[in-house]
Amino acid sequence: MFRKGIVFTGSGGQGVITASIIMAEAAALYGGINAVQAQAYGPEARGGATRADVILSDEVIRYPKVIKPHVLVCLTQLAYDKYIHLIRPGGTLLTDIFHVRQLQQADARTFNLDMYREVMDKIGQPIVFNICVLGALLGLDELVKPEHILKVLETKVPKGMIETNKQALELGLDLARKAKG
């Protein structure tokens, strides 16, 4: 049985929810596995940290919330501080250096990558930061094929922005591969 829980966390405007939707669609529409995507609105989301959950499985998914994520993404310090305790022992933690400055001890493969800065240096468009994050995630753990992410992007992104999104995805993949060594 294959089952992975991924939790994306960060702040409004960083594209956390969009990233989770793109991942779930890529898995379900093109990867041939079951995917559920969910996020909380209301009090939980009003403290300044956004959270979106994705579950990928080859079986039916009955409960849409991830309890102990195999993969946790934290794009702000606040989100990190709030959600780091969730991570499954031995899981994969992906954070952004520019936004998460203080890391605690955690029983996880930890990758604090310089994603936002690289996006600004090489692409110059903050809107594709979340796509770079997705790329990095897939570079660390091929949960979904990058080409399936691209297929979803083609249905969601204006034509003139496809190339920029592709660049961001590849930048993330590269950063993760280099970090893995």
> Which positions touch a copy of itself (CB under 8 A)?
11-15, 46-48, 76-78, 98-99, 101, 120, 124-127, 129, 158, 160-161, 164
Comparison of 80 and 111: residue with beta carbon closer to a copy of itself: 80
Comparison of 61 and 162: residue with beta carbon closer to a copy of itself: 162
| CB of residue 77 to a copy of itself, shortest distance in Å | 4
| CB of residue 80 to a copy of itself, shortest distance in Å | 10
Comparison of 65 and 101: residue with beta carbon closer to a copy of itself: 101
Distance CA 71, CA 138 (A): 11
| CB of residue 141 to a copy of itself, shortest distance in Å | 25
- 138 touches 144 (CB < 8 A): yes
| CB of residue 167 to a copy of itself, shortest distance in Å | 12
- Give the long-range contacts of residues 12-17, CB within 8 A, separation 24 or more: 12/50, 14/50, 14/75, 14/76, 14/129, 14/130, 15/127, 15/129, 15/130, 15/131, 15/133, 16/50, 16/51, 16/52, 16/73, 16/75, 16/130, 17/50, 17/52
Comparison of 147 and 163: residue with beta carbon closer to a copy of itself: 163
